[in-house]
Amino acid sequence: MALAFEDMDFGPPDYKDMLPATLKDNYGKWKYHEHIKPGVFKHVSESGKEVYTVRTGGPKFISSATIREMCDVADKYCESTLRFTSKHSIEWIIPKKEDVDKLIKEVKKMGLPVGGTGNAMHSIVQCTGWVHCHTAATDGPGIAKAVSDELIDYFQRDDLPARLNIAASGCLNMCGAVHCSDIALLGMHRVAPPVDDSIVSTQCEVPSLIAACPTYAIKPKIIKEDDGTTRKSIAIDADKCMYCGICYGLCPGVPLANAENDGVSIWVGGKVSGARGGAAFSRLAIPFIKNNPPRWPEVIDAVKKIVKEWAKDARQDERMGEWIDRIGWTAFFERTGIEFTEKHIDDYIFSVRDMNVGSRMKGSVLKKY
């Protein structure tokens, strides 16, 4: 018997199947919404129906016991649905006004802070970090937790000049969206992976390993044994390596993590919103801070300094990057006390040359520049 298309297990299910009943009934009919207090929105439909959304911060890793507890609360107040956002917030959609405060009381008892809406610090986007990832130079969830604990007041109030998006990513592959956040905490490797010939030649597919490197840093190497036999391994040109970790994903013989040399860089001023000046990339503020788990005090100090200066001086609705553009980078470094180094000098125009030697570009597309 042929399967109907909708019976096949392709892709995610239709999101409309997951909507709470009230949202389904009023789908496409929302007239306006109000931010009634930190962490709480009210949406009003054309029919006059009101629905309330409470946003809480959530942990990166959640036990099944905690999820069950959350589901019990959702059963009581939220038509048996709840929503995990891509920033690890949990959103509770409540059809009855009188249930809003009851729900807030229960979720607070569970340890979930209410907030992250309007001109507040929003939940910190983060990658999976050291628990799961082989390329992480720092621990996204560990740093996010440490920074969140210190700045939790900014999450629960909404009196900052504008929203504050912080992101934490363990490496430049950026599962943590650090390219476009007001403050981005980005893991940095600083040395090329060492090569363990005994693993590479016995467990890894050398041609695939060579082909995978985006910068042509990996070359084949033949090892001659005493008995005259040969085996294949690789050599890495450290000057060409950009520490992406792709090779380690293919072969355990090139471990990238390095406890002495890995750490965190801090970037500022990015945003996705197209409002006012448009979207912007985050730009370098601090090139390197050595990892100092479990609480990363040096990173926290730097973040607090940046937030304090921005909150003191920014105009209403002025995002971090817009504030820096207005006061200038010289003033940013002076006010925050962050040291300006040669690593801050932007050599973007010359990166065309670097990209031309990359294995993906083959010197073609960018030649005209």
Residues near ligand SF4, by CB under 6 A: 192-193, 212-215, 217-218, 236, 241-247, 256
For ligand SF4, the closer CB: 245 or 321: 245
What is the nearest approach in angstroms of ligand SF4 to the Cβ of residue 188? 13
What is the nearest approach in angstroms of ligand SF4 to the Cβ of residue 354? 12
For ligand SF4, the closer CB: 219 or 304: 219
Cα(113)–Cα(57) distance, integer angstroms? 5
**Do 252 and 199 contact (CB within 8 A), yes or no?**
yes
For ligand SF4, the closer CB: 194 or 277: 194
Dihedral sign for Cα atoms in the order 285, 289, 291, 294: negative
What is the nearest approach in angstroms of ligand SF4 to the Cβ of residue 194? 11
What is the nearest approach in angstroms of ligand SF4 to the Cβ of residue 218? 5
Q: What tokens does 9 get? A: 């297990």
For ligand SF4, the closer CB: 25 or 196: 196
* Tokens 């100092």 sit on residue: 292
Of 230, 227, 228, nearest to 197 (Cα)?
Answer: 230
How much of the chain is helix, strand and coil, in % rounded to 5?
35, 20, 45
Cα(181)–Cα(267) distance, integer angstroms? 8
What is the nearest approach in angstroms of ligand SF4 to the Cβ of residue 190? 12
* Tokens 């999101």 sit on residue: 15
What is the nearest approach in angstroms of ligand SF4 to the Cβ of residue 206? 13
For ligand SF4, the closer CB: 152 or 212: 212
Please state the φ and ψ torsions of residue 289, each to the nearest 5 degrees. Answer: -130, 125
For ligand SF4, the closer CB: 53 or 215: 215
Of 257, 264, 314, nearest to 290 (Cα)?
Answer: 264
